[in-house]
């Protein structure tokens, strides 16, 4: 069971990927984790990726796919895996499909966790973090006992740059331009399934499991 998770930043696809991984015993794979592990371990692929990153360049799609397939060749991926954060663009999806075809494999499900932009901006702009101990809060869903003060250590809470409304709006713009076309791509392959990500986390997960079962 090979699954791709789709959805805008803050839609909750990472949370759902973790829950799927736990229930079905599949590895939850993010390209960011793969890059970090290969660079840390000094693998040949990691050194190649680092050479691009050190120059401030994007790692080419072909190299990213090679890193990904190196990871999915591991024993823990024999039953399948969940890809989170890749592919992000049509060329990446095409490169992945080409390499999987050589292995006689295909992606079985592309699950789109759909949440309107205004919900995501509200969700993410309500996040607060403690710069001292790392505790996280949300003004609406998990508020601190005292406004803007960390329950754990009493430090003043901050809004991370990534969670500022203008940053979130820009990330959503990039998502719609680059990643949204993937929804049409996988729809044409008849493997796209959409779930309503505005529901409670458990209800979203029930919708996901009903697709997978």
The H-assigned helical ranges of the chain are 13-24, 31-41, 44-54, 61-72, 90-102, 117-125, 165-178, 180-188, 201-212
Identify the active-site residue in 2, 19, 71, 127: 127
Taking CB atoms within 8 Å and a gap of at least 24, the contacts of 114-120 are: 114/7, 114/11, 114/194, 114/195, 114/196, 114/197, 115/7, 115/8, 115/10, 115/11, 115/12, 115/197, 115/198, 116/198, 117/8, 117/169, 117/172, 119/198, 120/8, 120/9, 120/10, 120/11, 120/168, 120/172
66: annotated active-site residue: no
Out of 160, 173, 189, 206, the active site residue is 160
- Residue 127 catalytic? yes
- Could you say which of 50, 66, 88, 122 is catalytic? 88
* Annotated catalytic residue 160: yes
As annotated, the active-site residues are 13, 88, 127, 160, 171
């Amino acid at each position: 069971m090979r699954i791709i998770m789709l959805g805008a930043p803050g839609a909750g696809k990472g949370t759902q990927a973790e829950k799927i991984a736990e229930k079905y015993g599949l590895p939850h794979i993010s390209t960011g984790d793969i890059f970090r592990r290969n660079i840390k371990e000094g693998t040949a692929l990691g050194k190649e990726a680092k050479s691009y990153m050190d120059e401030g360049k994007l790692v080419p799609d072909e190299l990213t796919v090679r890193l990904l397939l190196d990871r999915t060749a591991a024993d823990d991926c024999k039953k399948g895996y969940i890809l989170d954060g890749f592919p992000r663009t049509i060329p990446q999806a095409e490169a992945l499909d080409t390499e999987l075809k050589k292995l006689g494999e295909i992606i079985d499900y592309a699950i789109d966790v759909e949440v309107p932009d205004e919900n995501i901006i509200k969700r993410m702009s309500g996040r607060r973090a403690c710069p001292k101990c790392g505790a996280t809060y949300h003004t609406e869903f998990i508020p601190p006992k005292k406004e803007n003060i960390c329950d754990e250590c009493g430090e003043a809470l901050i809004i991370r740059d990534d969670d500022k409304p203008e940053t979130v709006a820009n990330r959503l713009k990039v998502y719609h331009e680059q990643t949204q076309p993937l929804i049409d791509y996988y729809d044409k392959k008849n493997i796209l399934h959409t779930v309503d990500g505005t529901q409670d986390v458990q209800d979203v997960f029930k919708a996901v499991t009903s697709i997978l079962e």
